[in-house]
Chains A and B, each alone.
Chain A
Amino acid sequence: MITKRIIPCLDVKDGRVVKGVNFLGLADVSSPVKLAEYYSSCGADELVFYDITASAEGRKLFTDILTQVASRIFIPLTVGGGINTVDDFDRVLKCGADKVSVNSGAIRNPSLVRDAAHRYGDQCVVLSADVKRVDGEFRVFAKGGREDTGMEAISWIKRCVSMGAGEIVVNSIDTDGVKKGFDLEMLDAVCSAVNVPVIASGGAGGIDDFVKLFKALPGVDAGLAASIFHFGEVKIKDLKQTLRDNDIIVRL
């Protein structure tokens, strides 16, 4: 049967990984290439690179780095950040990305999802949604979670899937950074609404949170996290072994 995926997410600015990374035995911990190699060797099933630079030079550095990563690490690579047009898809796919994640760009221009899916296939288009509870409903936020769009999240996600989004990353703003577990209620609502892979993000504080996630919600396909992997609080090898010990199918 298909395995549950574990996905580390790396924020890249001006060619370096930010948010700090704290590994033993890694000399240059902010090199995206070295970190990608490290995660790949630990059993990460996929990597997400998020470009948080705003300048044109930063963009160029990002694609250079991406090319280097894709020349040496042979697992699926997803790229997000600053994706506003089909040309942006083209730019990162040419450098070796397999999937492209859209968020604010799709909110500004929803037809981006359709146009990109038409050109590159549904499997290439990942919708990343930042979601927060407002007035008793799930609401989509834009601009890195700073701006309430007023759109109800489940209908937004369904709309994007109908336009060709092949995978959904659900990032719960309510649980993000709290480290008390994934937002099971929100994820359940999304899993019930769509039949494409759902990736859980936001809230993981330890290995148990991943066990709870996959036990409670068989419809969730993957768990994504950043800092708990970067700071070594959760080691991917240990995480996957514990998942297997709990009868959750993973790639070891």
Chain B
Amino acid sequence: MIAIINYGVGNLFSLKSSLNFIGADARVTDRAEDLREADRIILPGVGAFSDAIEKLRATGLDRVLIEEAHRGKPLMGICLGMQMLFEKSLEYGEYEGLGLLQGKVVAMQGVIPTGLKIPHIGWNALRFTQEDCPLFKYVNNGDCVYFVHSYYATDCSRSTAAVTEYGAELTAASAYKNIFGCQFHPEKSGDVGLNILRAFCETEAVK
């Protein structure tokens, strides 16, 4: 079973539907025992970092999530959920993240050339930076996925699995041991996105 953490942020309809569509047993949940029982965990998220991390901590599920991740259970963060895996975010202040991946989240503003629109919204190509990343076993270098974001992870070269080009190289996906992240929305990225979810469903726990 895949537990999709429900902590009151964002709409989980498409994420659950996409996992069901590929035959996965996905459960939207806010219960600690479901996270412990699950084979894999997905941390979704939209909106502002400070608001989301606060809400997650208010549920107490952040501690369960970190425990399960340290046990080696596969965990994937999506969009803001991925950003929360890093050590900190500089979105409207400085906020501590979950610290499961090294790196920090910063604004595109001031990094990408002026004239490029922010948020970075639309379909953009993945360029793989890791060999044999388990998330990409069913997709190809150069495949397009759907992004909607204004902040991105940096100082995270150890975990970066793919980047995308938008006036600068932006971290698009992360993979380090059992911890994965997608800055884009696999549940909105057509067949490519479904294939990334399918690959996540086949990742193994790291002992």
Residues of A within 8 A of B (CB): 1-3, 5, 40, 45, 70-72, 74-76, 93-96, 98, 121-123, 166-167, 195-197, 221-222, 251
Cβ A121 vs Cβ B122 within 8 A: no
Cβ A123 vs Cβ B122 within 8 A: no
Q: Please name all residues of chain B whose beta carbon is closer than 8 Å to the beta carbon of A167 when the two chains form the complex.
A: 121
B159 contacts partner chain A, Cβ-Cβ < 8 Å = no
Q: Please name all residues of chain B whose beta carbon is closer than 8 Å to the beta carbon of A96 when the two chains form the complex.
A: 11, 13-14, 17
Q: What 10 pairs across the A-B complex have the smallest Cβ distances?
A: A251-B144, A71-B17, A251-B123, A3-B123, A96-B13, A2-B122, A2-B124, A123-B148, A74-B18, A75-B190
Q: Please name all residues of chain A whose beta carbon is closer than 8 Å to the beta carbon of B62 when the two chains form the complex.
A: none
Cβ A98 vs Cβ B117 within 8 A: no
Q: Identify 14 new A-B residue pairs, CB closer than 8 A, beyond the known A3-B123, A75-B188, A98-B14.
A: A1-B165, A2-B123, A3-B124, A3-B125, A3-B144, A70-B17, A74-B188, A74-B189, A94-B11, A121-B47, A122-B119, A196-B117, A221-B122, A251-B144
The 22 listed contacts between A and B (C-beta, < 8 Å) are A1-B124, A2-B147, A2-B166, A5-B122, A70-B13, A71-B17, A72-B17, A74-B14, A74-B187, A74-B188, A76-B188, A96-B11, A96-B14, A98-B14, A121-B47, A195-B118, A196-B117, A197-B121, A197-B122, A221-B122, A251-B123, A251-B144
Q: 1/0 per residue B58-88: CB within 8 Å of A?
A: 0000000000000000000000000000000
- B11, B121, B193, B194: the one within 8 Å of A93 (CB): B11
The distance from the CB of B18 to the nearest CB of chain A, in whole angstroms, is 5
Cβ B123 vs Cβ A45 within 8 A: yes
B165-207: which residues lie under 8 A (CB-CB) from chain A? 165-166, 187-190, 193-194
B116-166: which residues lie under 8 A (CB-CB) from chain A? 117-125, 144, 146-148, 165-166
Main secondary structure of the interface of B (DSSP, over half): mixed
- Bound-complex Cα distance A72 to B118 (A): 29
Interface centre among A70, A72, A251, by most chain B C-beta atoms within 10 angstroms, is A251
- Bound-complex Cα distance A39 to B81 (A): 30
Name the CB-closest residue of A to B147: A2
- Bound-complex Cα distance A3 to B142 (A): 12
Name the CB-closest residue of A to B188: A76
